[in-house]
Amino acid sequence: MDQKKLRGRAWVFEDNVDTDLIYHNKYLAETDPKKMPQFAFEYYPGKEKFAKEVKPGDFVVAGRNFGCGSSREHAVYCLKEGGVPVVLAESFARIYYRNAINNGYPVLFVKGLSQGIKDGKIVDGDELEVDLATGTITNLTQKTSFHGDAVADLENEIMTAGGLIPYLKAQVAQ
Amino acid sequence: MKHTLPSAILASRSQTPVREGEICAVRVDFAFANDITAPPAIRAFREMGAQGVFDPGRCAILPDHFTPNKDMAAAQQAKEARDFAREQGLRYWEVGRVGVEHAFLPEQGLILPGDVVVGADSHTCTGGALGAFATGLGSTDLAAAWALGETWFLVPPTLRVTVEGRPSPWVGGKDVVLALLERLGVQGARYKALEFSGEAFAHLTLDDRFTVANMAVECGAKAGVFVPDAPILAYAEARKARPFHPIYPDEGASYEAVVEIDAGSLEPLVAAPPSPAAVRPAKTFADVTVDQVFIGSCTNGRLRDLELAAGLLKGRRVADSVRCVVIPASYEVFKEALRRGYIATFVEAGAVVSTPSCGPCLGGHLGILAAGERCLATSNRNFTGRMGHPESEVYLAGPLVAAATALTGRITDPREV
């Protein structure tokens, strides 16, 4: 399979998922990103078992304004280190978006996803195929599809370098 | 090209022309982190191979979140932050002399009109009250700003927020910003900047403006910047740690939209959990009882807030069923409140008064909620589990509603007491 085509199950969230729900404040003293996935979505109603049951390759799918609230990068690490290859959302809160890019963590802006979730066109457990090159998201279970826009310009340069740290290292080396 | 205030500030710090919707690299005037966000920033800084910060006088770490160290993990984080601050010679203030970062830094004259300020904390937007483009970033971004003295921004479109009218004595900055949240919702200003102006602010204190700018991020905004006027310039001039040059919007600049708020028609407001935009008049929550009242935070822990709360609590007692926690946002606020007798008023009323800290706002310490408990807080977020157990609830309001609620044990419009 093409490396840019990913397959996995959907974990579906609503609009305005805040950083306290993604990664609760009581674990902010944890500093090792590898230990953060065990706390992901611990208190999200109906998703309390996310951390235990998520499989590498599963997708986080959400509506508008994903990651609103605090600037904590834990909310990116807990998904990235947990094996979620990309977050699909109609839109992202700006600090979350920057944090994702800076950590080389792909996000896709998916038109109509908020309404699609409300209409049940993507539900928990649906099998998705995500083509990161074209932005096409195919819901293999429901035979529906969505289109997402990958990041462009400077953000894409930072992302493809693997994040802000390798990007800046490369710049310094030049 | 005509610039709105946020764009004009970015343009003043960029070597290339700045256009809305395009990315620009800007020089930063000040860059800071706190005890939680500093340790990951320090690691990123080292991984980048950076040796020194771009200018130690323009970089800071403030131990304010989990301090005085609440447990061993917090102590470790605070130590890592302190050691780095010493190594780099950057600005650092110890517990006992510091305050909640967004209250303390303006007092020190380190956030000034026309500045570009970045902080590894989402409420960095508070600095917009002084006419600075101030915005929150993650720790990795902040590390890069420490190393390079610059960062990149997508130049946002601007929403112009005009607040006119004379607010009643029962209405303050918190009611203004809650009214704005009611209008815009939690993502109405996502990726946008807000530019604040209007006659109503002439009738309110500078502390009220800090409250308004503080919650710009709750609408999703990148920054919420006030157009400099006499009170802003007088405050900055009296405190400046370095020279500054105020920046103003260009006449005829183009705004994505104008949001008009009539402060004269506002009444005391409350935001119900779990959204800061679920706003209704305080009087409509009269049947909601509370276990705790929290007066403090980077939103409403300043002198004006304590003055208003003390005014209502003076000579009265906090309801038996309520724990009332008061946390001055900085030592300057604490000392002045002590001198004016507000602290004595709180203690005599049966409230807890704590040393400056973010405290319970983000579920840190000094007033965490149990399952099923409810708090009326003057802070900025009421997300699920924000102040403790996921089955606890936080209602947001200004200091007058908070003090009135502490007296009655249920959410109370201050005009009732």
* Helix or strand holding residue B353 (H, E): strand B352-353
Q: Is the pLDDT of residue A1 over 50?
A: no
Is A40 touching B (CB cutoff 8 A)?
Answer: no
Per CB-CB distance under 8 Å, the chain A contacts of B186 are: 16, 65, 68
- Rounded to an integer, the average pLDDT of A6-14 is 97
pLDDT in tens, A105-153: 999 999 999 999 999 999 999 999 999 889 999 999 999 999 999 887 8
Q: Is the pLDDT of residue A49 over 60?
A: yes
**What is the pLDDT tens value at each position of chain B, 417 positions in all?**
899 999 999 999 999 999 999 999 999 999 999 999 999 999 999 999 999 999 999 999 999 999 999 999 999 999 999 999 999 999 999 999 999 999 999 999 999 999 999 999 999 999 999 999 999 999 999 999 999 999 999 999 999 999 999 999 999 999 999 999 999 999 999 999 999 999 999 999 999 999 999 999 999 999 999 999 999 999 999 999 999 999 999 999 999 999 999 999 999 999 999 999 999 999 999 999 999 999 999 999 999 999 999 999 999 999 999 999 999 999 999 999 999 999 999 999 999 999 999 999 999 999 999 999 999 999 999 999 999 999 999 999 999 999 999 999 999 999 999
Phi-psi map region of B69: left, alpha, beta (phi>0 left; psi -120 to 50 alpha) = beta
In chain B, the largest separation of any two C-alpha atoms, in whole Å, equals 61
Whether B36 and A21 lie within 8 Å, measured CB to CB: no
Is A139 touching B (CB cutoff 8 A)?
Answer: no
Q: Nearest chain A residue to B45 by CA: give it.
A: A165
Q: What gap in Å lies between CA A90 and CA B140, rounded to an integer?
A: 24
* Helix or strand holding residue B306 (H, E): helix B303-313
Axis crossing angle, helix B206-214 with helix B173-184, rounded to the nearest 10: 30
Q: What gap in Å lies between CA A9 and CA B324, rounded to an integer?
A: 47
Helices (H), B22-172: 38-47, 72-88, 101-107, 139-148
Q: What gap in Å lies between CA B242 and CA B240, rounded to an integer?
A: 5
Question: ipTM value of the model?
Answer: 0.94
Strand partners, B325: B294, B352
Candidates B65, B144, B190; nearest CB to A94: B190
Candidates A24, A31, A164; nearest CB to B140: A164
Whether A154 and B37 lie within 8 Å, measured CB to CB: no
Give percent helix, percent strand, percent coil of chain A, each to the nearest 5. 35, 20, 45
Q: What gap in Å lies between CA A113 and CA A14, rounded to an integer?
A: 10
The amino acid at residue B238 is A
DSSP B315: T
Q: Determine which of B16, B22, B23, B36 to mutate to test the interface with A (most A C-beta atoms within 10 Å).
A: B36
Q: Write down the pLDDT at residue A131.
A: 93
Distance from CA of A11 to the nearest CA of B (A): 19
Q: Write down the pLDDT at residue A171.
A: 78
Backbone angles phi, psi at B198, to 5 degrees: 135, 155
Q: What gap in Å lies between CA B130 and CA A50, rounded to an integer?
A: 43
Helices (H), chain A: 19-22, 50-53, 74-80, 94-102, 113-118, 153-160, 164-173
HSE-CB for A6 with a 13 A CA cutoff:
23
3-state secondary structure string across B91-124: EECCCCCCECHHHHHHHCCCCCCCCEEEECCHHH
